[in-house]
């Protein structure tokens, strides 16, 4: 639909003789999914939402030609007491800090010149021409950046381990196998700002001593795949990928590898197996990929959002980065906000922002005046957090303390109408389907848990079922081989902890 709107707008602009003054640019994700298609008119930043093909002529004729804003198309928050707010002044954006998403919705992702105009590739130039490999790693360490893929491992330390590992060949991998249901953070970054990932991976390649990178991306993301390939071709053409980058003597190239959409391939060792052309099944750890990864060689794996932070850390400095977020979790985190919430979409907040500020301040609260009940962070590997913890700051430690995890950034809001046992069943159903079957605890254990949950939710639960479910959940958590199985029981464990009464109501009151 956006393609058609763009085409029609270009045609109308031409018809009215404005083609030398106005340029229509297709950007990446703008964040506010629920209000799309969006059109922003610069330089004023006037923000039109829910634009239809039939609205295009009016925007061109009234706004572009006569300077009269089309009020009926303004985003709901853009008009307040007859004052028209620009896109940066509406609450949804004003309360965010866009670091990883800094260029998304602003630049044309298929045009390298626009990325360069927004300081793109300056960090790479700085690293290659002015810094040693150790200095580059020290900057990443000092920034305090932690892996945004879920576990929060210090990124600089990972880079250092891989640099120090013995190996005649080393690899840099970007994990773009985003698989949580409802999560689209990585996809949006790749669609909106693909060069930032290529730049970061090249810096990483220089730092650890690698000449080859791979982006492992699911084939279900065709626009991201297309834009990444365009970006790779452009970077090669500009001498920013390939041999002797920026005449520094450093060689590095990046290739895409398409995944078939298995959730387990987001686990780094399963991802490695898949790139090697094998079935995507996790390996035992140790050895960790930093020592023995792709084809047994030291391999650095970071996820998309982690890489997206790298160029800007080099451009603006460690102190700037550490001034955002908390001491232990500097920077920001991108979340895909969904479920029972007014403003569904992509949000980026400083670490330490409370759940309340995200859900009510940015998300606009719960629709139809309903009561908030819980929020699920971390997707199927995470947990449900109840209302009494709404003022919890979002950071790795605080979420773990509540029995949930940061995960890669899925955030699903539930209201008073949601049955929490059913929510747990939904997520477990997903992980049962996605289990690779390598270890018994996950392959058989999660299936038995699902059977009990189905029994309970269909009103056939018996005394003892809840305890059996709890015991199984704790055993699987302790004995599964990889992160998928170890975290699969989290939705059950957290709902049992905070909403046990709902399980009991199903079993004892047959609700
Ligand atoms: Fe496979 Fe599950 Fe075992 Fe992971 S925990 S290796 S997904 S069976």
The model's pLDDT over 482-493, given as tens digits with 9 standing for 90+, comes to 999 999 999 999
442 CA → ligand 1 middle, Å = 6
Q: Scanning the structure block, which residue is given the tokens 């140790």?
A: 286
226 CA → ligand 1 middle, Å = 31
Q: Is the CB of 432 under 6 A from ligand 1?
A: no
267 CA → ligand 1 middle, Å = 10
- Per-residue pLDDT 10s for the chain (511 aa) are 888 999 999 999 999 999 999 999 988 888 887 788 999 999 888 989 999 999 999 999 999 999 999 999 988 877 776 677 888 888 888 889 999 999 998 899 999 999 999 999 999 999 999 999 999 999 999 999 999 987 899 999 999 999 999 999 999 999 999 888 888 899 999 999 999 999 999 999 999 999 999 999 999 999 999 999 999 999 999 999 999 999 999 999 999 999 998 999 999 999 999 999 999 999 999 999 999 999 999 999 999 999 999 999 999 999 999 999 999 999 999 999 999 999 999 999 999 999 999 999 999 999 999 999 999 998 888 999 999 999 999 999 999 999 888 887 889 999 999 999 999 999 999 999 999 999 999 999 999 999 999 999 999 999 999 999 999 999 999 999 999 999 999 999 999 999 999 999 999 986 5
Digit-coded pLDDT (tens) for 303-345: 999 999 999 999 999 999 999 999 999 999 999 999 999 999 9
353 CA → ligand 1 middle, Å = 33
The set of residues, in sequence order, having a beta carbon less than 8 Å from that of 185 and lying 6+ positions away, is 178, 304, 305, 334, 335, 336, 346, 408, 409
The atom of ligand 1 lying closest to the CA of 440 is 8
Q: Is the CB of 476 under 6 A from ligand 1?
A: no
Residue having the nearest C-alpha atom to atom 4 of ligand 1: 482
3-state helix, strand, coil in the chain (%, to 5): 50, 15, 35
Q: How far apart are CA 31 and CA 485, in angstroms?
A: 31
DSSP string, 6-74: HHHHHHHHHHTT-TTT------S--S-GGG-S-EEETTTTEEE-S--GGGHHHIIIIIIIH----GGGB
Q: Scanning the structure block, which residue is given the tokens 């980026």?
A: 348
18 CA → ligand 1 middle, Å = 58
Contact (CB, 8 A) for 484 and 434: yes
Q: What is the pLDDT of residue 511?
A: 59
Contact (CB, 8 A) for 55 and 37: no
Q: What is the pLDDT of residue 260?
A: 92
DSSP, collapsed to helix, strand or coil, labels residue 129 as helix
Q: What is the pLDDT of residue 93?
A: 86
Q: What is the pLDDT of residue 433?
A: 95
Q: Is the CB of 489 under 6 A from ligand 1?
A: no
ipTM of the prediction greater than 0.95, yes or no: yes
Q: Scanning the structure block, which residue is given the tokens 């009269």?
A: 68
482 CA → ligand 1 middle, Å = 5
From 268, 430, 445, 481, the mutation candidate for ligand 1 (largest count of ligand atoms within 8 A of CB) is 481
Q: Is the CB of 439 under 6 A from ligand 1?
A: yes
Report residue 330 as tokens. Answer: 């500097």
485 CA → ligand 1 middle, Å = 5
- Pairing relation of β-strands 79-80 and 253-259? unpaired
Q: Is the CB of 270 under 6 A from ligand 1?
A: no
Q: What is the pLDDT of residue 35?
A: 85
Q: How far apart are CA 132 and CA 208, in angstroms?
A: 11
Q: Is the CB of 407 under 6 A from ligand 1?
A: no
């Amino acid at each position: 639909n956006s393609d058609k709107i763009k085409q029609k707008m270009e045609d109308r602009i031409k018809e009215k003789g404005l083609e030398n003054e106005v340029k229509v640019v297709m950007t990446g994700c703008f964040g506010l999914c629920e209000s799309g298609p969006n059109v922003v008119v610069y330089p004023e930043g006037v923000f039109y939402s829910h634009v239809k093909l039939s609205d295009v002529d009016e925007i061109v004729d009234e706004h572009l030609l006569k300077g009269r804003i089309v009020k009926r198309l303004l985003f709901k928050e853009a008009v307040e007491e007859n004052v028209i707010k620009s896109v940066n002044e509406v609450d949804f954006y004003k309360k965010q800090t866009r670091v990883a998403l800094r260029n998304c919705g602003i630049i044309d992702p298929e045009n390298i010149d626009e990325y360069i105009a927004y300081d793109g590739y300056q960090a790479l130039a700085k690293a290659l021409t002015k810094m040693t490999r150790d200095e580059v790693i020290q900057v990443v360490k000092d920034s305090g950046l932690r892996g945004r893929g879920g576990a929060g491992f210090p990124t600089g330390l990972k880079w250092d381990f891989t640099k120090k590992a013995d190996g005649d060949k080393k690899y840099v991998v970007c994990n773009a196998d985003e698989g949580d249901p409802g999560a689209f953070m990585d996809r949006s970054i790749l669609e909106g700002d693909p060069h930032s990932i290529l730049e970061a991976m090249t810096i990483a390649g220089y730092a650890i001593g690698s000449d080859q990178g791979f982006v492992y991306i699911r084939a279900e993301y065709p626009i991201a795949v297309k834009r990444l390939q365009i970006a790779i071709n452009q970077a090669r053409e500009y001498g920013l990928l390939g041999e002797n980058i920026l005449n520094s003597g450093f060689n590095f190239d990046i290739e895409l590898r398409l995944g078939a959409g298995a959730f387990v391939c987001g686990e780094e060792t399963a991802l490695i197996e898949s790139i090697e052309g094998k079935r995507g099944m996790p390996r035992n750890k140790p050895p960790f990929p930093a020592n023995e990864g792709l084809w047994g060689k030291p391999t650095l794996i970071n996820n998309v959002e982690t890489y997206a932070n790298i160029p800007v850390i080099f451009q603006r400095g460690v102190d700037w980065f550490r001034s955002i977020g908390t001491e232990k979790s500097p920077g920001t985190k991108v979340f895909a906000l969904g479920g029972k919430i007014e403003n569904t979409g992509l949000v980026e907040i400083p670490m330490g922002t409370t759940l309340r500020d995200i859900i009510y301040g940015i998300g606009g609260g719960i629709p139809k005046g309903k009561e908030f009940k819980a929020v699920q962070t971390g997707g199927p590997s995470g947990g449900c957090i109840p209302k009494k913890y709404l003022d919890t700051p979002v950071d790795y430690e605080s979420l773990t303390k509540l029995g949930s995890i940061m995960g890669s950034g899925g955030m699903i809001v539930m209201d008073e109408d949601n049955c929490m046992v059913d929510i747990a069943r939904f997520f477990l159903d997903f992980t049962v389907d996605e289990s690779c079957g390598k270890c018994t605890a996950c392959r058989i254990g999660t299936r038995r848990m699902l059977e009990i949950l189905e029994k309970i939710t269909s009103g056939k639960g018996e005394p003892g079922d809840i305890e059996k479910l709890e015991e199984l959940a704790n055993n699987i958590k302790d004995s599964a081989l990889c992160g998928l199985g170890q975290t699969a029981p989290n939705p059950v464990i957290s709902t049992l902890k905070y909403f046990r009464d709902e399980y009991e109501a199903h079993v004892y009151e047959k609700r």
